[in-house]
């Protein structure tokens, strides 16, 4: 016959257990409180660090503004095309509160990365077209053609101007979180680029154009963007200013020469293209562009018609017919808002023949031959 045992706990035993439970619970609660306190300290430290970084960036931002205000007051002025005046800075004519201010923010705050790609142009040399081509090429494995971003967004939204992007995305540090490779455009002459961009290993694609077409296209565009309170700029005045080098990011010839010489010295970093050649042989030049950017077309892509599809997508006829480029606007700053349709005029070579006099043509040809002889050969 088995025996069963039942051990009855005494009150003393129960009291000891209660004391142990209370002590354990107290220890656990202290641990939880310490953990929460440590977490709060970590979060507060992170907040303080973020605030400190934000305060420092804001202080640096204000230093650049002060430096700009002191500088701009001392610079020579010339007649503007889109604005009343241009300022002369280190051999180049710039809009004061757009181009010069943007340049100074780039000099002080922008940190280039080796994977960055910059499209560099003098205004009205095919910037919009090349933006579309580069964006479509670099993202061809990411987007399908039927739902491509270029069908609903301007090329200027897809590849922003660096100085305008910095203005619109304060703090400036936000630019560093963009996915690689970052695509930017700039009109800044090569000689004014900060050393951080030149020595970073970034690649530049530059496109130039016949100065006679540049003059006419720029004159038409700038008059559309010119404030209503300023009288229209005549072609005769625009011609004289252009010949003297007094135009946005001018002189034109110095701009071209700067990138041309740099492309000879560093062909692996700077690709120099000509608008007229791109128009004649887009297939050949687009393949050359992709090889330079390290994204050559595969034989399969070529046989599948990918190259031709990109050319069609980015063509003047297609882009200019899209609703976004007919009715929407591009806001570069609070002061500069451009109708997207103004970026699409004719997209042709040789329209200068319909606008320039014989004397104008001869004078421009003479200046071009003297200054760009090596580029034209």
The pLDDT, as a whole number, for residue 337 is: 86
Q: Above 50 in pLDDT, residue 49?
A: no
Answer positive or negative: Cα dihedral of 181, 300, 143, 272: positive
Per-residue pLDDT band for 178 (boundaries 50, 70, 90) equals confident
The pLDDT, as a whole number, for residue 270 is: 98
Determine what percent of the chain is predicted with pLDDT higher than 90: 70
With respect to residue 10, please indicate whether it lies within any of the assigned structural domains: no
With respect to residue 313, please indicate whether it lies within any of the assigned structural domains: yes
SS3 161: strand
DSSP β-bridge partners for residue 119: 185, 205
Stated pTM of the model: 0.83
The pLDDT, as a whole number, for residue 175 is: 83
Per-residue pLDDT band for 74 (boundaries 50, 70, 90) equals very high
With respect to residue 22, please indicate whether it lies within any of the assigned structural domains: no
Average pLDDT taken over every residue of the chain: 87
Extract the runs of DSSP E, i.e. beta strands, from the chain. 77-79, 85-89, 92-94, 117-121, 183-186, 203-208, 270-274, 329-331, 337-339
Per-residue pLDDT band for 373 (boundaries 50, 70, 90) equals confident
With respect to residue 369, please indicate whether it lies within any of the assigned structural domains: yes
The pLDDT, as a whole number, for residue 47 is: 44
Mean pLDDT of 37-57: 59
Name the token pair of 112: 């280039």
Per-residue pLDDT band for 183 (boundaries 50, 70, 90) equals very high
SS3 78: strand
With respect to residue 97, please indicate whether it lies within any of the assigned structural domains: yes
Q: Above 70 in pLDDT, residue 4?
A: no
For 70, the domain range is: 66-374
Mean pLDDT of 222-240: 94
**How many domains, in total, are found in the chain?**
1
With respect to residue 219, please indicate whether it lies within any of the assigned structural domains: yes
Determine what percent of the chain is predicted with pLDDT higher than 70: 83
- For 327-371, the DSSP string reads H-EEESSSS-EEEGGGG-S---S-GGGGT--HHHHHHHHHHHHHH
Name the more confident of 64 and 10: 64
The pLDDT, as a whole number, for residue 179 is: 86
How long, in residues, is the chain?
377
Neighbours of 293 (CB within 10 A): 16
Per-residue pLDDT band for 59 (boundaries 50, 70, 90) equals confident
Q: Write 335-338 long-range contacts (CB < 8 A, 24+).
A: 335/97, 335/98, 336/98, 336/225, 338/224, 338/225
> Is the preceding peptide bond at 251 cis, omega within 30 degrees of 0?
yes
- CATH code for the domain of 351: 3.40.50.300
Q: Above 80 in pLDDT, residue 366?
A: yes
Mean pLDDT of 212-224: 96
With respect to residue 220, please indicate whether it lies within any of the assigned structural domains: yes
Instruction: Provide the annotated active-site residues.
Output: 187
Q: Above 70 in pLDDT, residue 142?
A: yes
């Amino acid at each position: 016959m088995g025996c069963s045992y039942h051990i009855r706990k005494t009150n003393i035993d129960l009291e000891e257990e209660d004391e142990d439970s209370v002590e354990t619970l107290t220890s656990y609660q202290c641990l939880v409180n310490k953990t929460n306190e440590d977490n709060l300290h970590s979060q507060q430290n992170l907040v303080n660090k973020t605030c400190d970084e934000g305060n420092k960036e804001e202080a640096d931002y204000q230093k650049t503004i002060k430096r700009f205000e002191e500088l701009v007051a001392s610079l020579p002025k010339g007649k503007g095309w889109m604005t009343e005046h241009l300022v002369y800075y280190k051999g180049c004519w710039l809009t004061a509160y757009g181009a010069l201010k943007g340049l100074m923010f780039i000099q002080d705050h922008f940190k280039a990365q080796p994977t960055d790609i910059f499209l560099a142009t003098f205004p009205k040399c095919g910037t919009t077209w090349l933006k579309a081509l580069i964006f479509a090429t670099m993202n061809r494995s990411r987007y399908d053609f039927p739902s491509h971003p270029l069908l609903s967004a301007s090329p200027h939204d897809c590849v922003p101007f660096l100085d305008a992007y910095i203005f619109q995305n304060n703090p400036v540090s936000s630019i560093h979180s963009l996915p690689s490779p970052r695509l930017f455009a700039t009109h800044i002459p090569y000689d004014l680029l900060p050393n951080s961009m030149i020595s970073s290993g970034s690649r530049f694609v530059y496109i130039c154009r016949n100065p006679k077409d540049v003059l006419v296209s720029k004159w038409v565009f700038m008059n559309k963007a010119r404030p209503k309170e300023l009288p229209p700029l005549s072609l005769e005045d625009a011609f004289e200013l252009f010949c003297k080098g007094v135009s946005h990011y001018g002189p034109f010839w110095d701009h071209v020469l700067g990138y041309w010489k740099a492309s000879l010295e560093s062909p692996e970093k700077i690709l120099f293209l000509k608008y007229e050649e791109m128009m004649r042989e887009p297939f050949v030049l687009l393949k050359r562009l992709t090889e330079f950017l390290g994204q050559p077309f595969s034989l399969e892509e070529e046989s599948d018609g990918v190259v031709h599809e990109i050319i069609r997508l980015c063509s003047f006829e297609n882009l200019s017919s899209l609703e976004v480029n007919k009715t929407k606007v591009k806001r570069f700053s609070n002061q500069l808002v451009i109708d997207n349709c103004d970026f699409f005029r004719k997209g042709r070579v040789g329209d200068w023949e319909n606008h320039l006099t014989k004397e104008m043509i001869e004078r421009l040809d003479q200046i071009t031959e003297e200054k760009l002889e090596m580029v034209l050969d």
